[in-house]
Copies of this chain bind each other. A is one copy, B any other.
Amino acid sequence: MIQGRTDLALELQEELQESEIDGIKIERKVDKNCGISQVKIVVETKEAEQIIGKPMGEYITLESETFLEEDDSYYEDMSEALHFVLRDFIKEEDRVLIVGLGNDKVTPDALGPLVVENIFITRHLKQYDLIKEDTIEMSGLVPGVMAQTGMEVVEIVRGVVKEAKPTKVVVIDALCARNSSRLNKTIQISNTGISPGSGVGNHRKAMNEETIGVPVIAIGVPTVISVPSIVRDSMEAIFKVVKESGGTSFTEIFTEEEKYQLAREVVDPGLVDMFVTPKNIDEAVRRISFTISEAINRYIPLSK
């Protein structure tokens, strides 16, 4: 199974190059007013899980060309659309723990910590009766990354969940995309938690109901592209030029899978732990984090 090139179920599905696969259901809709398109992919069977490389569950993708425009209203529509999707997974009576994954010192990875910084935290206010009784319970955690803590993130979150007893965990994470046009423009929501690093294999590090003890909703936005993705895309273009110059066609020689594998192999091993990110990433990450925190804060009437 091909891995590591994207965290987006939507891109994995696009790569399958088949319009219909047993056990994978796809729904699309576009809100014509605000231009936000929504794609819902449901992975329904163990077989489909193997084919697409993502655990069984729902993957909703929101996309908007314009949501990062320089505009005071930039986040309004997207925040509302995201809030609407979240309502399927999180109810007012839930006790919610928002977990901001990533390294707050590395710009494209700081999305999760930034979101938690702007969440309206209520758990302590409820315990001390400082807020209306029926307000949703929100707590927040920024667990850091393994290089900073020496611990798996899942260990930290599981320990905190056992003590603080939320009914739902929401993890916010920066993702890796394959297509540069999706960078900072796409939000993926899923009810399957996250499987850091790779698809369905790595059970030990996964953060889901099985490992954490309560349902895990994941909100992710691609802020980086993997180096092999970029190499592969460029290869395609180069071979086209080569062919026109009288060389051999690329697609005549390699299958899709072989192409990505080749791209991985030819990339300098020193680049394996590198990522590609836009120059305006600071501004982009701040705006996206605000969009997500506002979508969550909409659960709390007084902060509307």
Number of A interface residues, CB 8 Å? 82
Q: Which of A19-27, A28-36, A39-47, A151-159 contacts B (4 or more CB under 8 A)?
A: A151-159
Q: Are B234 and A266 in contact (CB under 8 A)?
A: yes
B150 touches A180 (CB 8 A): no
Q: Which of A's residues lie within 8 Å of B, judged by CB?
A: 70-72, 103, 105-107, 116-117, 120-125, 137-142, 144, 146-152, 155-156, 158-164, 180-181, 183, 225, 227, 230-231, 233-235, 237-238, 241-242, 245-248, 250, 253, 262-263, 265-268, 270-271, 273-283, 294, 297, 302-304
Chain A to chain B contacts (Cβ below 8 Å), 17 pairs:
A70-B120, A72-B304, A106-B282, A137-B150, A139-B151, A140-B144, A141-B156, A156-B163, A159-B161, A230-B271, A234-B234, A234-B266, A235-B235, A247-B247, A274-B277, A274-B278, A276-B276
Residues of B within 8 A of A105 (CB): 107, 282
Nearest CB of chain B from residue A202's CB, rounded to whole Å: 14
A273 CB, min distance to chain B CBs, angstroms: 5
**4 A-B pairs closest in CB distance:** A123-B150, A159-B159, A237-B266, A139-B150
Give the number of copies in the complex.
Answer: 4
Q: Chain A interface secondary structure, helix, strand, loop or mixed?
A: helix
Interface centre among A162, A234, A273 (most CB of B within 10 A): A234
In the complex, the answer to whether B121 meets A148 with C-beta atoms within 8 Å is: yes
Q: Which of B70, B230, B268, B275 is the one whose CB lies under 8 Å from A279?
A: B275
Contact between chains at B266 and A238 (CB < 8 Å) = yes
Q: Is the CB of B162 within 8 A of A147?
A: no
Q: Closest B-chain residue to A128, C-beta based?
A: B146
By a CB distance below 8 angstroms, the chain B residues around A149 are 121, 123, 139-141
Instruction: Out of B72, B237, B242, B268, name the residue touching A180 (CB < 8 Å).
Output: B268
- Report the minimal beta-carbon distance from A222 to chain B, rounded to whole angstroms: 12
Structural contact, B280 and A276, CB atoms closer than 8 A: no
CA A211 to CA B196, docked complex, whole Å: 32
B268 touches A148 (CB 8 A): no
